Amino acid sequence: MRLSIWPGAGQRYDEILQVARHAEATGWDGVYVADHFMPNAAPGRDSMAPMLECGTLLAALGAAVPRVRLGSLVYGNTYRHPAVLANMAATADHVTGGRFTLGMGAGWQVNEHEQYGIELPPVKQRLDRFVEALEVLHGLLRRPRTTFEGEYYRLTDAVCEPKPVQDPLPILIGGKGEQRMLGIVARYADVWNTWGLPGVIAHKSAVLDEFCAAQGRDAKAIARTAQALVVVDGPLPEAPFPVIGGSPQALADTIAEYRGIGLDELIVPDGLLGKDADRLKAMDTILSLARG
């Protein structure tokens, strides 16, 4: 099972670079970056807190950190035309020498759309638009020219050159909805990602397998990735996302559960790992538990 770190983009660049370089030096497999322009509006959160832009940050890390895979977790589809994103992704793959994973999601964070005047359609329309975007991305990244006539996007004999170093460049889709989103994953994704404890991931992975069977696709062609907040040694806080750990033994047991359900990659957000030397020590402990 691969192990990757997810440094929050609300930190200074030098702090993120420290995490990425430590991951590189100590044997982690990947580094992910979220795509947001501001913190999510919530009680107790600073609405003016800084947030580094995902694409620029990934390109910088790709040039500075030469071994680990890098990926977006995940680009919000509503923020960019997919043709623009295809060119960004191909460029990132060249900067990294073929180490980039293009993570995509339908988009969701309300305050970003409100402040920037970006349309956030109802869920059905958002998913319709997302499907069209995935068609555009598959075409531009994997075929010489693309013509597409959809409700939201239209391309005429369009090119995206140079093509990515990887053939194909893997597309990760983040989502968990069992009515429609996992069906989209089954059709378009090379990698699937969502938040969840092992039991939740096992259930949703089985649902994804069913969608793959219905569409005639080999379920093994889609890698399974997941994340949860991690506490190495201390009380587990109340949080809007799943939290694992609390002690090294409890963390080791949960990592073993993820491995047991066939998870291909566990992604660790750094939000509860502390800062500076404490964070690097926590990373070393997690790596030791995962590899031990």
The residue-averaged pLDDT of 194-200 equals 98
Render pLDDT for 265-278 as a digit per residue (tens, 0 to 9).
999 999 999 999 99
**Sequence-separated (6 or more) residues with CB below 8 Å from residue 118:** 78, 79, 112
pLDDT reported for residue 48: 87
What pLDDT score was predicted for residue 292?
A: 84
Domain ranges of the chain: 1-68+256-292
Residue 201 has pLDDT above 90, yes or no: yes
At 45, the pLDDT band (50, 70, 90 cuts) reads confident
Query: Distance of CA 204 to CAs 183, 198, 210, 219, Å?
Result: 11, 10, 10, 13
Spell out the residues 6+ positions from residue 121 whose beta carbon is closer than 8 angstroms to its own: 78, 129
- Pairing label, strands 146-149, 154-158: antiparallel
Give pLDDT, residue 289: 98
Tell me what the pLDDT averaged over the chain comes to. Answer: 97
pLDDT band at 193 (very low <50, low <70, confident <90, very high): very high
pLDDT of 44: 72
What confidence score (pLDDT) does residue 212 get?
98
pLDDT of residue 54 exceeding 90, the answer is yes
If we measure between CA atoms, which residue out of 4, 74, 6, 84 comes closest to residue 36? 74
Q: How confident is the model at residue 261 (pLDDT cuts 50, 70, 90)?
A: very high
Instruction: Quickly list DSSP for 97-118.
Output: TS-EEEEEE----HHHHHHHT-
